Amino acid sequence: MMAILSINDVTKVYEGKVTHRAINQLNFEVERGEFVAIMGPSGSGKTTLLNMISTVDRPTAGEVLVDGVNPQDLSKNELAYFRRRQLGFIFQDFNLLQTLNVEENIVLPLTLDGMKVEEMQKRVSEIAAHLDLESILQRLPNEISGGQAQKTAIGRALIHKPSLILADEPTGNLDSNSSKDVLELLGKINKRDQTTIVMVTHDPIAASYCDRVLFIKDGEFFNEIYRDDQRQTFFQRILNVLSLLGGHVGDFSSVRLS
């Protein structure tokens, strides 16, 4: 079966006063239904990589294929549609629109598509039930907790039933309980709907919720490990690789192992 994501010999060079090779001939694939964490020291190229997958940025060489499609081959309109339908984004700072309530934030991608109101309402009530947001749908972002804000952002990312969810430090601004909630929720979504998730994180506990952790260093592949049945032992193995990796990684963990 075709991988949902293929990174084929991807290099990213930032040109400037000093040229900087942020990603160097990177190769990996993500299979449909996987939940993958990407870890690496600060400056190792994680956000650069995510930006190329999300089409915010383009590779200097090599190609990124999402479900067999190279987004760089699409026209501007096709690309906008592709991003909305195929990709879901979750950010560290939630990125909610402050003037829209929770429900409106969740359906925003559908309103952009001009979907019928009844269909939108059906989707939003399904998602709200699944994410346990039903009682706060009418609240504004400044009237909800960080955990609820991130769940709202997850709802918005899911509303199109995207094939790939990209998350950059989704628990970076959450306390330990909310982080646990959000990670368990991502795990549930991944298992229930076979939604593929690629998550950048500094936090070894967050990474231990995934099926696989891919480590990069100086823009190159360093190592990857797969989870066994025990999250505890996977967590230990992640710590072992991080200690080999060096640099500033996972120096603070916001989630408690329990």
Ligand X SMILES: Nc1ncnc2c1ncn2[C@@H]1O[C@H](COP(=O)(O)OP(=O)(O)OP(=O)(O)O)[C@@H](O)[C@H]1O
Choose among 60, 156, 51: nearest CA to 102: 156
* Window contacting Mg ion (CB under 5 A); options: 47-55, 157-165, 170-178, 238-246: 47-55
> Contact between 247 and ligand X (CB under 6 A)?
no
127 and 152 Cβ atoms separated by less than 8 Å:
no
Binding mask 35-64 for ligand X (x = CB under 6 A): -----x-xxxxxxx----------------
> Contact between 70 and Mg ion (CB under 5 A)?
no
> Contact between 14 and ligand X (CB under 6 A)?
yes
Minimal distance in Å, beta carbon 128 to ligand X?
32
Q: Which is nearer to ligand X, 110 or 198 (CB)?
A: 198
> Contact between 16 and ligand X (CB under 6 A)?
yes
Report the distance separating Cα 214 and Cα 201, nearest Å.
11
> Contact between 51 and Mg ion (CB under 5 A)?
no
Secondary structure of residue 38 in the 3-state scheme: strand
Q: How many chain residues touch ligand X (CB under 6 A)?
A: 12
Choose among 115, 203, 198: nearest CA to 159: 115
Buried/exposed 71-98: b ≥16 CB within 10 Å, e otherwise: beeeeeeeeeebbbebbbbbbbebebee
Interface ranges with ligand X (CB under 6 A): 14, 16, 20, 22, 40, 42-48
